[in-house]
Structure 1
Amino acid sequence: MQTLIWNNLTEVEKQQALARPTISTSDELKSAVQNIIDFVRLQGDQALFELTERFDKIMLDSLEVTPQQIANACELVPEDLKLAIQNAKRNIQVFHEAQKLPIIDVETQQGVRCEVLTRPINQVGLYIPGGSAPLFSTVLMLAVPAKIAGCKKIVLCTPPPIANEILYTANLCGIETIYCVGGAQAIAAMALGTETIDKVDKIFGPGNAFVTEAKRQVSQLANGATIDMPAGPSEVLVLADEFADADFVASDLLSQAEHGADSQVILVTTSENLVKQVLQSVEKQLAQLARAETARQALSHSRIFIAENLQQCIEISNQYAPEHLVVQVENARDLLPLLDNAGSIFLGDYSPESMGDYASGTNHVLPTYSYSKTYSSLGLADFSKRMTVQELTPQGFMDLAKTVERMATAEQLDAHKQAVSIRLAKMTKQAIQPIAK
């Protein structure tokens, strides 16, 4: 990891030092994904069978996973892992249940009632990556809030061969519709629909460059689907003072670096001595990692910044806007009001990022690539939509009528004014009309 003294850098050098690894969205990748989407649109299920054989080297008899296959997979998951997944699910459920919005029903002025109604998104698709590290924890992060929100149709797509842990976790969360399809073709199938896979309204979940590009493309189609958030490589920033434990800091950096070669980890500290200890600990811990080579590649484009004081550390962190922010300083909670941009914050020595990734209760689907400046961590609200309601009594209408007429006139929207004026005229006429004998 390159070590830089923040105050020795020019403004341009600071920007360059905080830059993420470039996300490669080449014309070739865009074109390949577009071809996959078009193939699925035209050929439906047949395209999914052919693409699965081409990319995953597996010939499928059926796209949908049967109840018996799910039951068989559940039997093969070790009991201690089942208990761990159940415990994580409980915590995630408690935290997301607490996110239910209160009823909003107010009278903005007498006779003018305004409400907010929250309704679940009807049909959602959950994408779970497979490969060398099947992310069954992501099933919890997506399925639990979808269930709590009350989404009527929840489908899950994941590439074959599906890990037993993914099927067990989906079953635990009550997900009944699971399809054995991955990659850009799974995103296309959920966005457009096929003979077997129903079209969904919104797609959630991480994936590789093809999945990410497919989500981007389908979100721009008139008949496509919305997506959870824009995505980039995973990242962490550790903010540490001279009292931080070097082994803890090193472990947090490496836990993110092992995600992928394009991940980025940042250490911001006031202590040069800590930097030396952390670098030594990183080397020692790397020797014990199965994914050491992946972590080393991530470390090669990662950074250490030595800041003048904690205030400068905070400024660097807010400018970088990390996906994960680990705060290992004395009285870490005192910094919380000053931290503006982060997907998820981990306070203190005993709050490693791993806790949030798996089981503390917060969601691990987070904005990356500085999107935490404007996007939030995934939560219950993402599986819902809000509708506003207004209801005016005759008196409330009359009291507000002149305000609306004047504003509509100023904007030269005559029909808007007439919608009020016509009602006023009828109300006035009815009020003075003589009573029939």
Structure 2
Amino acid sequence: MSIAIRKLDSADAGFRDKLSAVLAFEASEDEAIDRAAAGILADVKARGDVAVLEYTQRFDRVQAASVAALEIGKEALQAALAGLPEARRHALQTAADRVRAYHERQKKECGSDGFLYREADGTELGQKVTPLDRVGIYVPGGKAAYPSSVLMNAIPAKVAGVQEVIMVVPTPDGVKNELVLAAAAIAGVDRVFTIGGAQAVGALAYGTATIPQVDKIVGPGNAYVAAAKRRVFGVVGIDMIAGPSEILVICDGATDPDWIAMDLFSQAEHDELAQSILLCPDADYIAKVEASINRLLEDMPRKDVIRTSLTDRGALVKVRDMEEACEIANMIAAEHLEISAQEPQQWADLIRHAGAMFLGRFSSESLGDYCAGPNHVLPTSRTARFSSPLGVYDFQKRSSVIRVSEEGAQTLGRIAAELAYGEGLQAHARSAELRLKK
């Protein structure tokens, strides 16, 4: 059975409205989910460990005498790592090494060392960069397990210098994923608790007798986790509110159509709300990709999920040319953007909004998900217009440094006093004037 994937043409009347309808996503605003998450958070804040245990039994069907019994010790994490087949252990370690190397380079290049400069009168101004003390990472454990998410969240935190990383991961029916635990060992996670959902977010945000309060919560989760993270922002920091995964492919029509079809599948298989879109100026090529989609789908273990995703939220879009494709890409501001073209850099130069860019025919998005090195925690739902990938900078904070010399206080004091009197703040003005020489 062929997929009824939506086909659009940028030359048609009403194209922008039709594309906007494809991009529309409002599930994260569900009021019932928000109310449920709010109730769970309030309960965890009030009753701590007792509430966490009750919700863990209710939602994950896991019974425990205490929250401490839900913690997995470092010995068990190392045992999980040692128990992996050699090829998988090697792949996990190699991916971790590449992710760590990338983020160590990022730390050097993104102003993580702070700065200080001296003015002529001896006044010193600058910025001090310090890591967060403790962060919590949420690792999904419902529909699938994501050891790659452990690496992408924990490693940049450790590279940043975070002292303690606490991981929470739901284990429905008590089933633990050994690869996730092994990833925690490799990434240097300090403590692991087998709890999930809004109750885990609440425990990390407010702290309980067993789980210490963190400074920031990062990592993706379901709609309840997203709603909970949104509500605790301000009590703790958060990375972002993650929506369904997205891929946008710009292709010049010369890549093997099977490659592009599979790249579209790679996001569609995440869940039914994931989005996969192709932009191409060649109508014949689009038809070839559609044929590849229909031919390859039946061999996919998650074909039902892929079919629903592509039918409900996917699109094959005919554009006038590659320049217009880039213009549309900037409007979409996708999480993952593949530019599958002979000279990808000339088109990448036209892109302003994308979570991550994959340039050239061999740069499949899946490599970025696992082992290329850059972080796979990316802004979704058009938030790439103003947000960035998770990075070392998300686990650091900056403090301004001001050391005014006696001479500098004579100049700055008069300026500050004049402005303070203009604002009607006499104490501000007098504070500056008291330091002026008589």
TM-score bracket, shorter-length normalisation: over 0.9
Which region of structure 1 is more displaced relative to structure 2, 46-55 or 318-327? 46-55
Question: In the aligned structure 2, how far is the partner of 1:219 from the partner of 1:331?
Answer: 42
Question: In the aligned structure 2, how far is the partner of 1:321 from the partner of 1:214?
Answer: 25
* Structure 2 match to 1:433: none
Question: In the aligned structure 1, how far is the partner of 2:114 from the partner of 2:56?
Answer: 46
Q: Please point out which of 153, 158, 167 is paired with 1:156.
A: 167
Which region of structure 1 is more displaced relative to structure 2, 340-349 or 392-401? 392-401
Change (3 A) 1:397 1:378: same
Question: In the aligned structure 2, how far is the partner of 1:358 from the partner of 1:33?
Answer: 31
Normalised by the size of structure 1, how large is the TM-score?
Answer: 0.93
The equivalences for 1:378-393 within 5 A come to 378-393=390-405
SS for the counterpart of 2:209 is coil
* Structure 2 match to 1:78: 85
Amino acid at match of 1:394: E
Amino acid at match of 2:9: I
Question: In the aligned structure 2, how far is the partner of 1:112 from the partner of 1:190?
Answer: 41
* Structure 2 match to 1:271: 282
Shift of 1:210: 1.1
Aligned-residue Cα RMSD (Å) equals 1.7
For the pair 1:26 / 2:33, whether they are aligned, the reply is no
Shift of 1:418: 1.9
SS for the counterpart of 1:8 is coil
* Structure 2 match to 1:65: 72
Question: In the aligned structure 2, how far is the partner of 1:94 from the partner of 1:110?
Answer: 42
Question: In the aligned structure 1, how far is the partner of 2:134 from the partner of 2:187?
Answer: 16
**8 Å Cα contact 1:20/1:264 also seen in 2:** no
* Structure 1 match to 2:323: 311
Question: In the aligned structure 2, how far is the partner of 1:9 from the partner of 1:128?
Answer: 44
Change (3 A) 1:269 1:110: farther
Q: Please point out which of 274, 278, 286 is paired with 2:297.
A: 286
* Structure 1 match to 2:230: 216
Change (3 A) 1:153 1:16: same
* Structure 2 match to 1:432: none
SS for the counterpart of 2:24 is coil
Question: In the aligned structure 1, how far is the partner of 2:53 from the partner of 2:222?
Answer: 20
Shift of 1:79: 1.3
Question: In the aligned structure 2, how far is the partner of 1:53 from the partner of 1:89?
Answer: 33
Shift of 1:149: 1.0
Which region of structure 1 is more displaced relative to structure 2, 11-20 or 301-310? 11-20
For the pair 1:331 / 2:343, whether they are aligned, the reply is yes
**8 Å Cα contact 1:250/1:278 also seen in 2:** yes
Question: In the aligned structure 2, how far is the partner of 1:14 from the partner of 1:67?
Answer: 52
Change (3 A) 1:31 1:421: same
For the pair 1:146 / 2:153, whether they are aligned, the reply is no
Question: In the aligned structure 2, how far is the partner of 1:33 from the partner of 1:309?
Answer: 46
**8 Å Cα contact 1:21/1:264 also seen in 2:** no
* Aligned length in residues: 423
* Structure 1 match to 2:265: 254
Shift of 1:111: 2.4
**8 Å Cα contact 1:18/1:320 also seen in 2:** no
Question: In the aligned structure 2, how far is the partner of 1:37 from the partner of 1:398?
Answer: 52
Question: In the aligned structure 2, how far is the partner of 1:108 from the partner of 1:347?
Answer: 44
* Structure 1 match to 2:254: 243
Question: In the aligned structure 1, how far is the partner of 2:28 from the partner of 2:378?
Answer: 20
Q: Which sections of structure 1, spanning at least 5 residues, go unmatched?
A: 429-437
Question: In the aligned structure 2, how far is the partner of 1:268 from the partner of 1:176?
Answer: 44
SS for the counterpart of 2:408 is helix
Which region of structure 1 is more displaced relative to structure 2, 203-212 or 333-342? 333-342
Q: Please point out which of 47, 51, 58 is paired with 2:51.
A: 47
